[in-house]
Amino acid sequence: MSRQHSIKVEINRKVFNSIKEYFGITDEYLKERYKLIAKGESKMMKATVSKLRNLSDYLRIPVSVFFLSEPPNFPAGPDDHRKRSQLKLSKNTINAIRNAYWYQQILNDLTTFEFNLNLKFNLDNDDPINAGKIVSEHLKFEELRKKSHNPNELLRKLRYRLDEFNIFTFKENFPSEETRGFSIINSGPPIIVINRHDTDSAKIFTVLHELGHILLNLPGISEPTDVEGSPDSVESWCDQFSASITIPHKYLEGLNLKEHDDIGPVINQLHDKLLVSKHSIALALLHIKGIFLSQYQEFINRPYSIEQQIKKSGEFRIPRAKMITSNKGKKFTMIIMDAYNASDLPENEVRELLNVKDNDKVFEDLLDI
Query: Is 33 a domain residue?
Result: yes
The rounded distance, in Å, linking the Cα atoms of 53 and 287 is 52
Q: Does the predicted model carry a pTM greater than 0.85? A: no
- Residues whose CB falls within 8 Å of the CB of residue 79, separated by 6 or more in sequence, listed in order: 218, 219, 220, 221
Are residue 229 and residue 286 in the same domain, yes or no?
yes
Are residue 136 and residue 191 in the same domain, yes or no?
yes
Are 340 and 350 in contact by the 8 Å Cβ rule? The answer is: yes
Amino acid symbol at 126: D
Least confident of 2-6, 107-111, 165-169: 2-6
Q: Could you say which of 41, 67, 93 is where a domain stops?
A: 67
Q: Could you say which of 67, 96, 116 is where a domain stops?
A: 67
Are residue 272 and residue 348 in the same domain, yes or no?
no
Are residue 83 and residue 55 in the same domain, yes or no?
no
Least confident of 46-50, 79-83, 254-258, 326-330: 254-258
Are residue 99 and residue 145 in the same domain, yes or no?
yes
Q: Give the number of domains in the chain.
A: 3
Q: Could you say which of 307, 330, 358 is where a domain stops?
A: 307
* Nearest CA among 161, 202, 156, 160 for reference residue 179: 202
Range of the domain at 35: 8-67
Query: Is 55 a domain residue?
Result: yes
Query: Is 74 a domain residue?
Result: no
Maximum C-alpha span of the chain: 85
Are residue 280 and residue 198 in the same domain, yes or no?
yes
- Mean pLDDT confidence for 288-303: 77
* φ/ψ of residue 99, rounded to 5: -60, -40
Binning pLDDT at 50, 70 and 90, where does residue 158 land? very high
Query: Is 72 a domain residue?
Result: no
The pLDDT of residue 45 is above 60 = yes
The pLDDT of residue 167 is above 70 = yes
Query: Is 57 a domain residue?
Result: yes
Binning pLDDT at 50, 70 and 90, where does residue 362 land? confident
Q: Residue 308: its pLDDT value, please? A: 45
Count of positions (residues) in the chain? 369
Higher pLDDT, 188 or 121: 121
Structure confidence by residue, pLDDT tens digits, 193-211: 999 988 899 999 999 999 9
Query: Is 2 a domain residue?
Result: no
Are 363 and 345 in contact by the 8 Å Cβ rule? The answer is: no
Query: Is 361 a domain residue?
Result: yes
Are residue 337 and residue 356 in the same domain, yes or no?
yes
> What is the rounded (10 degree) CA torsion for 151, 155, 157, 159?
180
- Mean pLDDT confidence for 77-86: 74
Are residue 32 and residue 94 in the same domain, yes or no?
no
Q: Residue 53: give its domain's CATH number.
A: 1.10.260
> What is the sign of the dihedral through the CA atoms of 362, 363, 364 and 368?
positive
Are residue 209 and residue 332 in the same domain, yes or no?
no
Q: Residue 313: its pLDDT value, please? A: 43
Pairing assessment for the beta strands 191-195 and 220-221 based on DSSP bridges? unpaired
Report for 54-63, 84-93, 97-106, 246-255: range of highest mean pLDDT: 97-106
Average pLDDT, the chain: 83
Are residue 104 and residue 189 in the same domain, yes or no?
yes
- Mean pLDDT confidence for 243-256: 82
CA angle 284, 288, 183 (to 5 degrees): 45
Rounded to whole angstroms, what are the CA distances from 145 to 22, 34, 156, 206?
Answer: 41, 49, 11, 16
Q: Residue 231: its pLDDT value, please? A: 57
Are 136 and 245 in contact by the 8 Å Cβ rule? The answer is: yes
Structure confidence by residue, pLDDT tens digits, 84-97: 656 678 878 888 99
Query: Is 251 a domain residue?
Result: yes
Q: Residue 352: its pLDDT value, please? A: 86
Are residue 124 and residue 243 in the same domain, yes or no?
yes
The rounded distance, in Å, linking the Cα atoms of 221 and 39 is 31
Are residue 247 and residue 346 in the same domain, yes or no?
no
Burial of 61 (0-12, 13-18, 19+ CB in 10 A): middle
Higher pLDDT, 125 or 233: 125
- Mean pLDDT confidence for 297-318: 57
